[in-house]
Every structure is written in structure tokens, then in C-alpha cells.
């Protein structure tokens, strides 16, 4: 089997570390592996599959002979993805930079793999909350076109990377020890203003936009329409950070054009790859962020009729934000590319 020269940009962060774990777990066919990061992390040694790698600073010249560049996210994408494309690499990008670009496919492989072949060098990985939601929406959409979605998220601090997770841990330690609590990271914004996340809930993820939605909310709205290839889809979102380390949860209300019973929804979700239905109220069985942490599958439960509209359903979905919400989805895109690889 052909092996592919692979680069990870942002190899030292939370998503970068997950890329490495998944490359090993899934036997990803890499030849050369380049671990790239900012100058701050350059020189750091990472032992991976029994071999020592030295993290290199990302530059425009880092991508010579690279077949696949996995961008973990952040500002590096905007600066270096164009250089990587110029050097002939295919970029799979976790940041929001290119997601809404007409020339860039926005892909969840179980949902819209057909979009991948239209790429011109960059394929965008959707926002974590979008990925987790559309995994559950797609099999339902196949039963009936969707009229309107109302989603509220309960997002883990891992969405703010390693620093977000450290902040929650430090605050929980301080709380337990009756020490003063420091808030330095969350919410991530342009202002130098932060709030405690331990024992709290913050209805702000990413910056506020002119319409008073947060950027995270608008990402969910715009990206869902693009992935589902449905500009008429009505969708509104409220995104909330909660004091959970890892794995996001979402409450989703869906109004369909035609009847979709809870039973039909369960049966369609059970058949969908990457989705597990965990739904038995009598046994108190439902998805929980703690249980989906570190797992690949998205879990759906609390599937029930919304009595307030003609064709409505409610459900609850949980998924690991760093796995399916980021590194796993990106690596699945890379695996799809490899499966359909044509020599240039
Ligand atoms: C998740 O460069 C940055 O400010 C990173 C912002 C960010 C994003 C984004 O907009 O790319 C942090 C966490 C995301 C995302 O996946 O949309």
C-alpha cells in the first residue's frame, strides 16, 4: 500500500496530540511524518510509535514533498495553508478560516463525502459542535426534509484547547481548597475580560458579532446549511460553555416537513455509521459527556416527540469534541482521500 508524507501543523496542542493517537490507532499509512508548531514549541521532542520526533517551526517552506497536511486549527491555517497548497500538499484544515469559502468543501465523511472530490487543495473540517449535530441530523433528514432546527449546546472546556482544560482544573482545585479563583482564558474573546467556569455556565463561545450572536453560534448555523446543502434550512443556536473537561452535549429540536416518529428516528440513527443510540428512559439510559469522552462515536438519546408543533422531535447528542469534533473527522477525510488517491 502506498504511504503518504504527512505533516501535522499544531502538533503540540490538544488536537495535535489526538491526531497522533488516532494515526497510531487507525494504522494511518504515513511515510514521513513532520510535526510542526509555532516557534514557541519548536525543538520539543515527541516520542511517537517508538521513534523520537523533533517539533519544527512551521514556515512557508515546511511543505515540500508533503502529501497531506493536517492543520489542527488556529491562526496558522490562514498563514500556511496557501503555502502548503502551492507546494502540492492537500490540506485538511480544522480552523474556521476557509469553511465558508465556495471553493472549499466542508466535510463530515458520513454525511457529505461527495463534496470531497471538488477540493482545490483545501478541505475544511467543520466546527466541533456542527459535526456532532449533523451526525445525528443526516439520517433523520433522509426520512424527511427539515424545516427548522433550534439547538442549544453544553460545550466542554476542551474546545478552548489544553489551556481551557488547565483553567477548569486549576479553578476546581482552588474551589476545593478554598483558594481564590483565577480566570485567565475563558471565555476566549478579544477583550481582556474573563469569567470563572468552575461551578458556572457561560453563554459565550468565541467572540460576539454585530447581530449579537456569538461566532460559534453563527458557525453552527452557516456550516450546517452548507454541509446539508440546504440554504432554506432554518436554524438558530445558543452555544454555552459548561464546566466539563471533554466532550460536548447538545439539545436539538427539529421540525420536519413530514412525520418522523421517535421509533423511525431511532431506527435510522441506529443504522447510521458513527452513531450509537443510547435511549431508554425506563432504565435511565441516555448519553453523557463523561461517557463519550475519548470515544469515536457520537451518542444520541432522549429522542421524543415535540408535541408543540406538527412534525417535531427533540433529542440530546453527545460527542468527543477533540475526536469526532476535530482530529478524527479530519483523519477520516484524509482516509477517504487516500482510498480515492490518484497520482498527479
Ligand atoms: C474552535 O485562531 C483562533 O482564534 C481559533 C479560534 C477557534 C476556532 C476557529 O474559529 O477556527 C477556537 C476553537 C474553532 C473552530 O473550530 O471553529
Instruction: Say if ligand 1 is within 6 A of residue 62 CB.
Output: no
Specify the residue for cell string 501535522. Answer: 8
Distances (CA, A) of 242 to 164, 203, 260, 289, 310: 11, 9, 31, 11, 32
pLDDT at 344 over 70: no
Whole-number Å distance, alpha carbon 230 to ligand 1 midpoint, is 24
Q: Could you tell me the CA-to-CA distances from 293 to 128, 152, 266, 296, 313 in Å, in that order?
A: 14, 19, 22, 9, 26
Pocket test for ligand 1, best of 18, 97, 185, 206 (most atoms within 8 A of CB): 206
Q: Is the CB of 95 under 6 A from ligand 1?
A: yes
| Nearest CA, atom 14, ligand 1 | 95
d(CA 334, CA 90): 9
Residue from 128, 194, 311, 340 carrying the catalytic annotation = 128
In this prediction, residue 320 carries a pLDDT of: 98
Cα-to-centroid distance, 318 and ligand 1 (Å): 20
- Using the CB atoms, write b or e for 203-231: b if 16+ within 10 Å: ebbbeeeeeebbbbbbbbbbbbbbbbeee
| Nearest ligand 1 atom to alpha carbon 326 | 16
Mean pLDDT of 9-28: 97
Pair 26, 4: CB distance under 8 Å: no
Q: Which of 152, 104, 155, 150 is nearest to 128 (CA)?
A: 155
pLDDT in tens, 251-265: 999 999 999 999 999
Residue 119 CA to its chain's centroid (Å): 20
- Mean pLDDT computed over 162-175: 97
- Given this model, what pLDDT does residue 292 score? 98
What does the alpha-carbon distance between residue 118 and residue 243 come to, in Å, rounded to a whole number? 39
C-alpha span between 87 and 36 (Å, rounded): 16
Can you give the pLDDT at residue 342? Answer: 81
* Nearest one of 135, 340, 127, 296 to 220, comparing CA atoms: 127
Closest Cα to atom 3 of ligand 1: 74
Q: What is the number of the ligand 1 atom nearest to the C-alpha of 125?
A: 16
128 near 325, Cβ under 8 Å? yes
CB distance 129 to ligand 1 below 6 Å: no
The response to whether residue 75 sits with its C-beta less than 6 Å from ligand 1 reads yes
pLDDT of 201-232, one tens digit each?
Answer: 999 999 999 999 999 999 999 999 999 999 99
Render 187-227 in DSSP notation, one character per residue: SP-SSS-----TT--BS--S-B-TTS-BHHHHHHHHHHHHH
* Higher pLDDT among residues 161 and 11, named by residue: 11
Between CA 86 and CA 96 the distance in angstroms is 20
* CA pair distance 306, 205, nearest whole angstrom: 27
pLDDT at 343: 74
Helix axes 128-141, 262-271, angle to 10 degrees: 110
What phi and psi, each to the nearest 5 degrees, are found at residue 151?
A: -120, 140
* For the CA of 127, the nearest atom of ligand 1: 16
CA distances from 300 to 133, 144, 330 (A): 10, 18, 22
Q: In what order do the strands lie in the sheet with 68-71?
A: 56-57, 30-37, 4-9, 68-71, 90-93, 122-124
> Which numbered atom of ligand 1 lies nearest the CA of 215?
10
Q: Looking only at Cα atoms, what is the longest distance across the chain?
A: 62
Report the SS3 class of residue 280: strand
Evaluate whether 296 touches 26 at the Cβ level (below 8 Å).
Answer: no
Residue minimizing CA distance to atom 2 of ligand 1: 74
Using CA positions, which residue lies closest to atom 5 of ligand 1?
74
Quick check: CB of 74 below 6 Å from ligand 1? Answer: yes
Q: What is the pLDDT of residues 29-58, one digit of tens each?
A: 999 999 999 999 999 999 999 999 999 999
Instruction: Indicate if ligand 1 lies below 6 Å from the C-beta of 96.
Output: yes
Which of 215, 241, 219 minimizes the C-alpha distance to 157? 241
Ligand 1: distance of its center to the CA of 235 in Å?
Answer: 21
**pLDDT tens-place string over residues 182-196:** 999 999 999 999 999
Active site residue 248: yes
Helix (H) or strand (E) holding 179: none
**Set of cell numbers at residue 338:** 487516500
- Told to judge if 318 belongs to the known catalytic residues of this protein, a careful annotator would answer no
How much is the mean pLDDT over the chain?
Answer: 97
pLDDT of res. 1: 81
Residue 58: per-residue pLDDT: 98
Residue 310 pLDDT exceeds 90: yes
Q: pLDDT tens digits for 246-296?
A: 999 999 999 999 999 999 999 999 999 999 999 999 999 999 999 999 999
* First-to-last C-alpha distance (Å) of the chain: 17
Residue 74 Cα to ligand 1 midpoint, Å, equals: 6
Check whether 245 has a pLDDT greater than 70: yes
pLDDT surpassing 70 at residue 108: yes
Amino acid at each position: 500500500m502506498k504511504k503518504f508524507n504527512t505533516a501535522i501543523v499544531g502538533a503540540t496542542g490538544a488536537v495535535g496530540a489526538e491526531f497522533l493517537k488516532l494515526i497510531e490507532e487507525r494504522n494511518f499509512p504515513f511515510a514521513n511524518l513532520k510535526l510542526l508548531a509555532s516557534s514557541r514549541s519548536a525543538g520539543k521532542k515527541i516520542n511517537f510509535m517508538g521513534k523520537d520526533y523533533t517539533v519544527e517551526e512551521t514556515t512557508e517552506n515546511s511543505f515540500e514533498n508533503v502529501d497531506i497536511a493536517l492543520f489542527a486549527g488556529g491562526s496558522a491555517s490562514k498563514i500556511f495553508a496557501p503555502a502548503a497548497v502551492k507546494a502540492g500538499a492537500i490540506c485538511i484544515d480544522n480552523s474556521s478560516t476557509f469553511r465558508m469559502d465556495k471553493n472549499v468543501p466542508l466535510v463530515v465523511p458520513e454525511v457529505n463525502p461527495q463534496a470531497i472530490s471538488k477540493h482545490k487543495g483545501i478541505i475544511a473540517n467543520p466546527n466541533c459542535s456542527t459535526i456532532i449535530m449533523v451526525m445525528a441530523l443526516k439520517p433523520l433528514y433522509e426520512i424527511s426534509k427539515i424545516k427548522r432546527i433550534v439547538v442549544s449546546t453544553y460545550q466542554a472546556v476542551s474546545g478552548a484547547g489544553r489551556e481551557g482544560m488547565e483553567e477548569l482544573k486549576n479553578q476546581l482545585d482552588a474551589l476545593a481548597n478554598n483558594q481564590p479563583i483565577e480566570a485567565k482564558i475563558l471565555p476566549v474573546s478579544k477583550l481582556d475580560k474573563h469569567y470563572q467556569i468552575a461551578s458556572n455556565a457561560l453563554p459565550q463561545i468565541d467572540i460576539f458579532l454585530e447581530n449579537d450572536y456569538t461566532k460559534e453560534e453563527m458557525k453552527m448555523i452557516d456550516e450546517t446549511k452548507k454541509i446539508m446543502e440546504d440554504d432554506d434550512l432554518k436554524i438558530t443556536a445558543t452555544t454555552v460553555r459548561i464546566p466539563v473537561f471533554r466532550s460536548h452535549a447538545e439539545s436539538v429540536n427539529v421540525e420536519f416537513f413530514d412525520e418522523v416518529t421517535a421509533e423511525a428516528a431511532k431506527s435510522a440513527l441506529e443504522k447510521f455509521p458513527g452513531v450509537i443510540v443510547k435511549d431508554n428512559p425506563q432504565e435511565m439510559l441516555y448519553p453523557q459527556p463523561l461517557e463519550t469522552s475519548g470515544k469515536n462515536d457520537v451518542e444520541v438519546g432522549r429522542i421524543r416527540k415535540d408535541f408543540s408543533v406538527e412534525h417535531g422531535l427533540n433529542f440530546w447528542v453527545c460527542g468527543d469534541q477533540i475526536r469526532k469534533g476535530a482530529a478524527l473527522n479530519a483523519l477520516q477525510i484524509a482516509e477517504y482521500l487516500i482510498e480515492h488517491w490518484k497520482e498527479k
